[in-house]
Homo-oligomer: A and B are copies of this chain.
Amino acid sequence: MENLNIGQHISRRYNEELEDIRNRVLAMGGLVEQQLKDAMTALEKRDAGLAAQVVERDCEVNAMEVAIDEECNRVLARRQPAASDLRLVVAVIKTITDLERIGDEAERIARMVSTLVREEHSTRLFTQIRNLGHHVSSMVHGALDAFAHLDTEKSVEVWSEDRLVDDEYDSLMRELMTYMMEDPRSIPSILQAMFAARAMERIGDRAGNICEYVIYLVKGKDVRHTRVDKSG
């Protein structure tokens, strides 16, 4: 299997194009991370203003996805990349889809804030889901880090976290359900908290997807739907 040869092309312009695509993915990742962080802060502090800002900025994430996608198509058409360059472009096309959808989930979380700020007893709920939110935020950060440094060890590490997130989510759901049964009046707000938790769980999935693309990009091997281990 050939080594990654980004930055080793005879055409300087081609190098620059590939570098530019990578940088734009990282910039998009940075914005998505910020959106997720802001959505979490809005949820914790019941800050409807910040939540509204997250909702509004989602179109920036979408615009970045479309722009990077077009750039990838241009490179595919003009440069006809092969081997690791081709894998980079394909991995980018997939990564930005997941990033855009992490952005959508952040927007979804932010939209729940406006419902929750009206509830008296919502502080307890926020605390319950805060840990899950921090866990998946750190997964997104780790996945982008793995992408930035083409680090497969880090990819496997972050990818493995997803199972822990799933367990955390399941136990949180069971807990929220007992609250509902104890106090049926709290059902509407607890449901919102459950949907926020579900959005977080899905963010963990998507961070895991990005890690799989990094492994594919570096190793030239499709690890989706299979067990990933360090020997891979």
Count copies of this chain in the complex.
Answer: 2
CB neighbours (8 Å) of A76 from chain B are 76, 86, 90
Contacts A177-B187, A187-B177, A222-B69 given; does A83 touch B94 at CB 8 Å: no
Interface residues on A, range: 35 or more
A63 touches B225 (CB 8 A): yes
B177 touches A181 (CB 8 A): no
Residue from A59, A65, A83, A187 whose CB has the most chain B CB atoms within 10 Å: A187
A185 to B180, CA, bound (A): 10
A225 touches B66 (CB 8 A): yes
Q: Name the prevailing secondary structure of the A interface residues.
A: helix
A188 touches B177 (CB 8 A): yes
A198 to B194, CA, bound (A): 12
A102 to B135, CA, bound (A): 26
Q: Is A125 an interface residue (CB 8 A)?
A: no
CB neighbours (8 Å) of A63 from chain B are 225
A114: min CB distance to chain B, Å: 15
Q: List 24 A-B contacts (CB under 8 A).
A: A62-B225, A65-B224, A65-B225, A66-B225, A69-B222, A70-B222, A72-B90, A73-B86, A73-B87, A76-B90, A77-B82, A77-B86, A90-B93, A93-B94, A94-B97, A97-B97, A173-B191, A177-B187, A177-B191, A181-B184, A181-B185, A187-B187, A191-B194, A198-B198
**Besides the contacts A66-B222, A72-B90, A93-B93, what 14 more A-B pairs have beta carbons closer than 8 Å?**
A62-B224, A66-B225, A69-B222, A73-B86, A73-B87, A73-B90, A76-B86, A77-B83, A90-B93, A177-B187, A177-B188, A177-B191, A181-B184, A198-B198
